Structure 1
Amino acid sequence: MADTPSYPIPLDSREQPILENLQRIRDELTLLKQDRSTYVKSSDVMVLYDKVVEQVRLLNEIRVDKPKEDNRLDRVLEGCFQLLSLFFMTIGKNNEAPAAYALTSTIKKLLEHLLEVDLYSSKDLEHITHTLERLRGIVKKSQTDSSYSPKLVTLLSSRLDVCQDLLDQLLGRLGRLTHELPGLHEKLISILRSISLANTRTKFSSTEVEKLQGQLKEIDAQRVNGNFVSADGEIPAGNDEVKDLLNRCLTWSEIVLARKGAMPEEFAGTYQTLVDIRNTLDKLSLTQAWSLRETDLYDYQRQLERIDESRVDGNFVDAEGKFAELYVQRTLLYLVRRSYANIYFLMVSSEPVSEALLPVYNQLQTLRRCLIEVKNSGGVSSPRDLYPYSMKLNSIDNMRVDGKFMIGDDIPEGQGSVNELLAECFELNYELRVAVETDGDD
């Protein structure tokens, strides 16, 4: 995604103007991303999207006989599509083809890392499986929509196929486990990640790691003659894999307790960068509804990719080109993978509502939760108790013009979602009022 000298300039002189145009468009997208003085308008994004599509059309005409060409132009184009994809999420067009681009990039990275390390559980794959199915539906629908570039739709279909192939390989590996082993495998993965999390906290806690190590020793004590045995006394398929995982967990706990979070100086800078990214993304996961603009994720993606791509044969290296030791490798890779996972969940949690309407949408979400809580706790004792909810709902309802939430002359995306949520809140409020009035009559 980064425009670096390692990517050669176009050899065909006809591609140079296209590269320059795409660089200008990328700069415009970057400026729009950085502008916090106002919300992002659909019209601004669509103008830039059309510009990119036009450059793609010109590029396709030049590369009729060399479709697999890959140079700096392709790198800049990747950055444009990545930014546009995040902008589509920001303006609430989550269910349209361009929005799927950034998500497929993150899913691919995440799956490649899971395949590389071979430490994952069925829960990791279950969510991604559903997301890929949803994205396939979006892309299939876009194939009959002339407003989207056929090149983009074809590219997305190809990326989804790559992700599905990676997912199938991962699912095949889990299929090796039988009987009680899948549950045991999942627990070991959870303990391993908890140890890695404890290892990267600001203040290292030996007690926390020792407790986790104790859980591992309890699992180890369940083995019979070194093997995990099923209820009928047989050694189930997948026994060797789970034994290996347990040994890896025990070894890792010993290493972590010995190192106590101390990172060698030559890798301290990379470590701190990754910790900062992880911590920031963790905070965004807690405050997403109120603080996240999806385009912010672009900068974190670029930082992660630079660090990830700096590896040599899968290994982190110091300034002299020497491979990092096992402790450093595992610690840094854990942070990279944790950050990719955070970006993935922030993307899939993005609401199909323009950031212009998010303040209203978030208020309604809070109101809905409050009303449901009141209902579940037995309702109210008097209609007067519902006045604060009714007043807030009416104030939001009065913001609409002809049934639409307007921002100036603009009608932001997400009208259906906000109106549906408003109607649900009114319905909950009405049910609570009817219930208390009926009780009063009785």
Structure 2
Amino acid sequence: MDTPNLPPPLDPREQPVLQSLRVLRDQLTLLKQDRTTYVKSSDVMPLYDKVVEQVKLLNEIRADKPTEDNQVDRVLDGCFQLLSLFFMTIGRNNEAPAAYALTSTIKRLLDHLVEVDIYSEKDLAHISQTLERLREMVKAASSSHSENFITLLSNRIEVCQRSLVTLNTRLARLSDEIMPTYEKLISILRSLSLANTKSKFSATEVQKLQAQLKEIDAQRKEGKFVTVNGEVLAGDHEVSELLTKGIYWANMVLERKGVCPEPFREKYQTLVEIRNKLEKLSLTQAWSLRETDLYDYQRQLDRIDESRIDGNFVDSEGNFAELYVQRTLLYLIRRSYAYIYFLMIASEPVSEALLPVYNQLQTLKRCLLEVQNSGGLNSLDNMRVDGKFMVGKEIPEGQGSVIELLSECFELNYELRVAAEQETDD
């Protein structure tokens, strides 16, 4: 669970707090692992109150040293991560504790964007909207949750906001005219990294992306991105640099064909497996995700991310990873954090116990909307000519089956309307 680079508490008064938090984290972990029943508010709230009580004690101990950071903080973070995901699981997504895990993931994403300086306006816009929503959520909860916890959450949101401002400032260097080219290059770079980490490497796919880079390069005049009047566009240096990175990366990916060197193979396989599982969850999220499942993925990623030395991955002998490995592993980590972020955002404010009903209603709603958008049953019936469905002047085979199905739909529609009217009368 823990990353061992944090020291134990020096103040002996923190030791009981550490032990209590470890017990609470273990209880939360056991609750997370129990699939025999649905998680309820009555399971979560007593544990939440006990963790907040430990925060109060810790703040009293650290009144004169508020910036202390040791193993107590790591275990406390684990407790709040789990509690936050439990709040989502029980459908209390709009309450302040649910924001904690999301702020952690946003912080990771922003740190990586600052590190690589490769991101788009869309990336920042979505995160900005989410932070604003979290800020409003925390503000509204100030009277119903511990002051210490609200302060902690507010500080985490503001840390993310400062990173966001820095990133937006970088993007402001680019003119509106050059921005579409920049966005296209971002998309190509990400597509190259995806192709590089697929189970079956496709040289053709990479070559097509390489051709797009050459097309963008051909748009330059004497190595510069210019206006129709020949003036160098604001942001030319940044976009030209990004283009150079893209061409270099495409050549490297083609050369290496998605093969990670042996010293980093295990770490690579672990990250690919995490990415693939999260991708699968993103496709089946409504039916298969318990939000607390994200905790284990998050912690695995955190451990790998934090194992870097001065930003570099190292092998078992302490050797730094070469550029190809560095870029490949960082892409997988960033992609996985992005999946976790969107899975949290997509979480519905519905208790786990009600999710099966909610999901069935969502499916039914989509079906009804399809019928509505296509003009309903009457519009289908009106397509008939002399009782037959025509395609041009032809009468295709299967008229009987289609007409029988249409009749059954009319009958079901009638029965539902009668049932609804009877319930209204009752």
Indicate how the Cα distance of structure 1 residues 395 and 366 shifts in structure 2: closer, same or farther if over 3 A, else same.
farther
The equivalent residue for 2:338 is 341
The equivalent residue for 2:374 is 377
Match of 1:284 among 268, 281, 286: 281
Using the TM superposition, name which of 376-385 and 185-194 deviates more. 376-385
Indicate how the Cα distance of structure 1 residues 330 and 393 shifts in structure 2: closer, same or farther if over 3 A, else same.
farther
- What does 1:169-184 align with in structure 2 at a 5 Å threshold? 169-184=166-181
How well do the aligned residues superpose, as a CA RMSD in angstroms?
1.9
The residue type paired with residue 268 of structure 2 is Y
The residue type paired with residue 119 of structure 1 is I
Deviation at 1:101, TM superposition (A): 0.3
Q: For residues 413 and 30 of structure 2, what CA distance do their matches in structure 1 show?
A: 40
Q: For residues 413 and 351 of structure 2, what CA distance do their matches in structure 1 show?
A: 24
Q: For residues 415 and 21 of structure 2, what CA distance do their matches in structure 1 show?
A: 50
Contact 1:10 1:16 in 2 (8 A): yes
For residues 241-260 of structure 1, the C-alpha deviation after alignment (integer angstroms, 9 at most, x for no partner) is: 10110010000000000000
The residue type paired with residue 251 of structure 1 is Y
For residues 180-205 of structure 1, the C-alpha deviation after alignment (integer angstroms, 9 at most, x for no partner) is: 21111001000110010000000100
For residues 213-252 of structure 1, the C-alpha deviation after alignment (integer angstroms, 9 at most, x for no partner) is: 0111111111111111113321111001101100100000
Match of 1:150 among 134, 147, 159: 147
The residue type paired with residue 76 of structure 1 is V
Deviation at 1:69, TM superposition (A): 1.7
The residue type paired with residue 87 of structure 2 is F
Using the TM superposition, name which of 59-68 and 213-222 deviates more. 59-68
Contact 1:87 1:294 in 2 (8 A): yes
Contact 1:367 1:389 in 2 (8 A): no
Structure 1: runs of 5+ lacking an equivalent = 397-425, 427-442
Instruction: Establish whether residue 205 from structure 1 lines up as the match of residue 229 from structure 2.
Output: no
Equivalent position SS for 2:96: coil
Equivalent position SS for 1:98: helix
Indicate how the Cα distance of structure 1 residues 393 and 192 shifts in structure 2: closer, same or farther if over 3 A, else same.
farther
Contact 1:227 1:243 in 2 (8 A): yes
Indicate how the Cα distance of structure 1 residues 243 and 88 shifts in structure 2: closer, same or farther if over 3 A, else same.
same
Using the TM superposition, name which of 253-262 and 221-230 deviates more. 221-230
Deviation at 1:17, TM superposition (A): 1.4
The residue type paired with residue 74 of structure 2 is R
Q: For residues 414 and 92 of structure 2, what CA distance do their matches in structure 1 show?
A: 31
The residue type paired with residue 113 of structure 2 is L
Q: For residues 166 and 18 of structure 2, what CA distance do their matches in structure 1 show?
A: 37
Q: For residues 392 and 14 of structure 1, what CA distance do their matches in structure 2 show?
A: 66
Equivalent position SS for 2:353: coil
* Identical columns (%): 69
The equivalent residue for 1:218 is 215
The equivalent residue for 2:18 is 19
Q: For residues 206 and 285 of structure 1, what CA distance do their matches in structure 2 show?
A: 27
Indicate how the Cα distance of structure 1 residues 386 and 356 shifts in structure 2: closer, same or farther if over 3 A, else same.
farther
Deviation at 1:3, TM superposition (A): 2.1
Equivalent position SS for 2:352: coil
Instruction: Establish whether residue 272 from structure 1 lines up as the match of residue 269 from structure 2.
Output: yes
The residue type paired with residue 335 of structure 1 is L
Using the TM superposition, name which of 230-239 and 323-332 deviates more. 230-239
Using the TM superposition, name which of 50-59 and 34-43 deviates more. 50-59
The residue type paired with residue 316 of structure 1 is F
The equivalent residue for 2:392 is none
For residues 82-103 of structure 1, the C-alpha deviation after alignment (integer angstroms, 9 at most, x for no partner) is: 1000000000110100000000
TM-score scaled by structure 2?
Answer: 0.89
Deviation at 1:115, TM superposition (A): 0.6
Deviation at 1:179, TM superposition (A): 3.5
Q: For residues 336 and 392 of structure 1, what CA distance do their matches in structure 2 show?
A: 50
Larger Rg: 2
Deviation at 1:74, TM superposition (A): 1.2
Indicate how the Cα distance of structure 1 residues 366 and 389 shifts in structure 2: closer, same or farther if over 3 A, else same.
farther
Equivalent position SS for 1:93: coil
Q: For residues 13 and 114 of structure 1, what CA distance do their matches in structure 2 show?
A: 39
Q: For residues 53 and 387 of structure 1, what CA distance do their matches in structure 2 show?
A: 57
Q: For residues 380 and 392 of structure 1, what CA distance do their matches in structure 2 show?
A: 14
Q: For residues 359 and 389 of structure 1, what CA distance do their matches in structure 2 show?
A: 24
- What does 1:266-345 align with in structure 2 at a 5 Å threshold? 266-345=263-342
TM-score scaled by structure 1?
Answer: 0.86
Indicate how the Cα distance of structure 1 residues 388 and 289 shifts in structure 2: closer, same or farther if over 3 A, else same.
farther
Contact 2:192 2:250 in 1 (8 A): yes
Instruction: Establish whether residue 189 from structure 1 lines up as the match of residue 170 from structure 2.
Output: no
Equivalent position SS for 1:60: helix
The equivalent residue for 2:111 is 112
Contact 1:90 1:355 in 2 (8 A): yes
Q: For residues 267 and 60 of structure 1, what CA distance do their matches in structure 2 show?
A: 42
Indicate how the Cα distance of structure 1 residues 388 and 329 shifts in structure 2: closer, same or farther if over 3 A, else same.
farther
The equivalent residue for 1:418 is none
The equivalent residue for 2:92 is 93
Q: For residues 200 and 391 of structure 1, what CA distance do their matches in structure 2 show?
A: 53
Equivalent position SS for 2:377: coil
Count residues with an aligned counterpart. Answer: 394
Deviation at 1:4, TM superposition (A): 3.8
Q: For residues 414 and 95 of structure 2, what CA distance do their matches in structure 1 show?
A: 35
Q: For residues 28 and 390 of structure 1, what CA distance do their matches in structure 2 show?
A: 52
- What does 1:10-159 align with in structure 2 at a 5 Å threshold? 10-145=9-144, 148-159=145-156
Deviation at 1:21, TM superposition (A): 1.0
Contact 2:3 2:303 in 1 (8 A): no
The residue type paired with residue 409 of structure 2 is D
The residue type paired with residue 175 of structure 1 is A
Contact 1:3 1:75 in 2 (8 A): yes
Q: For residues 70 and 202 of structure 2, what CA distance do their matches in structure 1 show?
A: 48
Match of 1:365 among 355, 362, 366: 362
The residue type paired with residue 136 of structure 1 is R
The residue type paired with residue 313 of structure 2 is F
The equivalent residue for 1:401 is none
Instruction: Establish whether residue 261 from structure 1 lines up as the match of residue 248 from structure 2.
Output: no
